[in-house]
Structure 1
Amino acid sequence: MRRRLIQSTLAVVLVVIAVFGVSLVIVETRTISNSAQERVSSEAQRLASIVDSRLIGAGAVSADVLERQVTGDRYAVIRVPGQPVIEVGTKPEGEVIRGRATGEEGEQVTVEEPHSTVSREVGRTLLIIGLVALLAVVAAVVLAIRQANRLASPLTDLAETAERLGSGDPRPRHKRYGVPELDRVADVLDGSAERIARMLTAERRLAADASHQLRTPLTALSMRLEEITLTDDPDTVKEEANVALTQVERLTDVVERLLTNSRDPRAGNAVTFDLDEVIQQQLAEWRPAYRSAGRAIVSSGKRHLQAVGTPGAVAQVLAALIENSLMHGGGTVALRTRVTGNQAVVEVTDEGSGVPADLGARIFERTISGRNSTGIGLAVARDLAEADGGRLEMLQTQPPVFGLFLSRTPPLKRSQTDDEPTVR
């Protein structure tokens, strides 16, 4: 592109120089020739005047008198009636410029000048015009290179930005070039980069959340199926199968919840539900894992509490806290329920060493983990709690106490007229 811009600009300049330069050369050549002819004619007229004055005063004209009047390369011939022909100067060879004049006494004066003087003057003029044309060409090349760089460099940058977007690097460059059209393209690319970055972040977050949230119900389901394969008691098989079906339903709810959050993390489907049922379900699912680890999981506190939220989301939050205690805590895990104000609170605690002091409240940040884990479990749990209007907090670090706060008042449903704009 740079080469094409430079070539096109240079071609335009050369055409302009050729058109105007040739015209100027022709005009200047004619002007110089006419000026030389007028100069020689004026010289002949001047000599004729001098001869007139000498004839009137002295009655005769000599070459010595006129020799001082003819200067340069000029050659003059004076013909006076009744007197010899007077020649002044050296007769030029080749082509000459000739001027004639006739005096009042009948004398004839002819002045000749070599045409080479005109050729030299024309040559000097052509040299000046050529130098000006050369400077114009050089200036045009410099300006063309500068303009080409100004246009080609932004296009190269924009191409690199588009290539980075295609290769999965959606970082906007926020670089502008002072050219409105190119800046508009840069704005569009930066906007696309930001949208792609948000989509990639959402996809990565969905993948991370799905891998973390699906692991627990799949593990519990696998344990139930193993229990079924190891027993011959039909009643036990039926009981374990019913529990497995419940876990499959929970797994389905987890998937639906993840997909809903990936579209709109604020979308909630809060209802009033029995908190005891969710807690007992979690106890039943996690007891086999705790028994295998030689630990216990118990519940206590106020019973028959009604809370507002999505039962599946609350179950996932409690599962994340119970799993966190299983992996990082120690001793017996206790789930305690209580009421504070208009909120139902579920506290999850264990007898472990607690949260390290260097983590503190950062325990809910993604990728923050005290040990070798994904570091997203508590972050996902807090997002799920907040999606239904609740909150998840760390009430105590040693021993660790996490509190899930849920509203006990059903949310007010907005009427259709509330969603419609008011026409005035």
Structure 2
Amino acid sequence: MRRRLINSTLAVVLVVIAVFGISLVIVETRTITSSAQDRIESEALRLVGMVEASVLERKPIDAHALAEQLDMGGYARITVPGQPPVEVGDRIPDSVIRGTAKGEQGETVVVEESRSTVTREVGRTLAVVGAVALLAVVAAVLLAVRQANRLASPLTDLAETAERLGSGDPRPRHKRYGVPELDRVADVLDSSAERIGRMLTAERRLAADASHQLRTPLTALSMRLEEITVTDDLETVREEATIALTQVERLTDVVERLLTNSRDPRTGSAVPFDLDEVVKQQVEEWRPAYRSAGRAIVRSGKTGMRAVGTPGAVSQVLATLVENALMHGGGTVALRTRVIGNQAVLEVTDEGPGVPPDLGNRIFERAISGRNSTGIGLAVARDLAEADGGRLELLQTQPPVFALFLSRTAPERPAPEQTVR
């Protein structure tokens, strides 16, 4: 592209120089020739005046005086009626410029000058025009190279940016070139880079969230299937199969929720549901794991509450809190339900060391963890809670108290607080 730009610019300049240069040479040649002709005729008039004065005074024509008035290298021939012709200077053998003047007494003066004088003058003019044309060509080449670099370099940069986008590097360059059209292309590429970056981030986030959030349901499902394989009791098989189907439904709900949140984290499908059922399900599901670890999981607080949310999402949030308490906490894990205004609050606490003070609410940020874990679970749990209009907060760091706030509907029937172990 650079070569084409340089060649096209140079071609335009050469055409302009040729047109105007030839025109200038023609005009200057005619001007020089006309000027030389006028000068020769002026000399002839001057000489005829001197000859006429000598004739009127009846003096002989002084050739020496006429020679002093004649330009060097010139030739003059004076003709006076009744007198022999007088020649001043040497005859010019080659092409000449001739000027003739006649006096009132019949005198005739013919002045000649070699045309080489005009040729030399035209040559000097041609040299000047050629030098100017050469300078113009050099300047045109330099400007063409500069302009070509100004246009080609941005295009090269834009091509590299597009190639980087294609290779999976979506970082915008935010580089502009001072050319509106190229800057527009750069704007579009930067916008595309930002969109691609967001898409890649969402995909990586979905993959990380899916691997983390599906781990617990798959583990529980695997345990149920193992129970089925080792028992011969048909009733036990049916019970475990029913639980396994419930866990499969939960697993399907988790996948759908992750896909929905990856497209739009604000999208929720909140409905009124029985909060007790979700709490009971989680307690029963996690009790074997806690029993194996020599720990206990209990529930307490107000019962008979209905909340607004997605049961699968609430179960997943609660499972994340219970699993974190199992992995990082200590002692008994308690699930407490209570009411604050028009909100149902589900708290999860344990007797472990709690959350390091330097983390605080940063524990909900991705890749933030105080116990060498992935740092994804709590971030996903908060996203799931917020998608249904709720919120997940850390109320207390030591001992740790996590609280899930959900909108509450009126309970179907009041019930006293109880503790189930």
* TM bin (shorter chain): over 0.9
Report the TM-score, using the length of structure 1 for normalisation: 0.93
Distance 1:376 1:232 in 2: 40
Q: Residue in 2 aligned with 1:147?
A: 147
Q: Residue in 2 aligned with 1:45?
A: 45
Per-residue CA shift, 1:177-214, capped at 9, x if unaligned? 23222222222222222222222222222111111111
Q: Does 1:217 align with 2:217?
A: yes
Distance 1:177 1:139 in 2: 23
Distance 1:304 1:54 in 2: 148
Distance 2:304 2:359 in 1: 35
Structure 1, gaps ≥5 residues long: 411-424
3-state SS of the aligned residue for 2:40? helix
Structure 2, gaps ≥5 residues long: 411-421
Q: Residue in 2 aligned with 1:314?
A: 314
3-state SS of the aligned residue for 2:145? helix
C-alpha displacement of 1:284 = 1.4
**Alpha-carbon RMSD:** 1.6
Q: Residue in 2 aligned with 1:185?
A: 185
Amino acid across the alignment from 1:252: T
Q: Residue in 2 aligned with 1:136?
A: 136
Q: Residue in 1 aligned with 2:367?
A: 367
Per-residue CA shift, 1:78-132, capped at 9, x if unaligned? 2223334322223334222222222222222121112211111001100111111
Q: Does 1:96 align with 2:96?
A: yes
3-state SS of the aligned residue for 1:408? strand
Q: Residue in 1 aligned with 2:247?
A: 247
Distance 2:239 2:307 in 1: 28
Distance 2:206 2:128 in 1: 76
Per-residue CA shift, 1:277-326, capped at 9, x if unaligned? 10111111112222222222111111222211111111000000011111
Aligned length: 410
Amino acid across the alignment from 1:262: S
3-state SS of the aligned residue for 1:373? coil
Q: Which runs of 4+ in 1 moved over 4 A?
A: none
Q: Residue in 1 aligned with 2:305?
A: 305
Distance 1:57 1:292 in 2: 153
Distance 1:249 1:67 in 2: 127
Distance 1:6 1:371 in 2: 65
Distance 2:63 2:245 in 1: 140
Q: Residue in 2 aligned with 1:80?
A: 80
Distance 1:257 1:40 in 2: 106
CA contact (8 A) 1:257 1:313 kept: yes
C-alpha displacement of 1:355 = 0.7
Q: Residue in 2 aligned with 1:262?
A: 262
Q: Residue in 1 aligned with 2:62?
A: 62
Q: Residue in 2 aligned with 1:341?
A: 341
Amino acid across the alignment from 1:14: L
Report the TM-score, using the length of structure 2 for normalisation: 0.93
CA contact (8 A) 1:395 1:403 kept: yes
3-state SS of the aligned residue for 1:28? helix
Distance 1:184 1:305 in 2: 57
Amino acid across the alignment from 1:273: F
Distance 2:260 2:89 in 1: 112
After the TM superposition, which of the residue ranges 23-32 and 338-347 deviates more from structure 2? 23-32
Distance 2:367 2:31 in 1: 88
3-state SS of the aligned residue for 1:404? strand
3-state SS of the aligned residue for 2:355? coil
Q: Residue in 1 aligned with 2:169?
A: 169
Distance 1:249 1:140 in 2: 76
Q: Residue in 2 aligned with 1:229?
A: 229
Distance 1:228 1:388 in 2: 35
CA contact (8 A) 1:62 1:86 kept: no
Amino acid across the alignment from 2:348: V
After the TM superposition, which of the residue ranges 102-111 and 372-381 deviates more from structure 2? 102-111
C-alpha displacement of 1:58 = 4.1
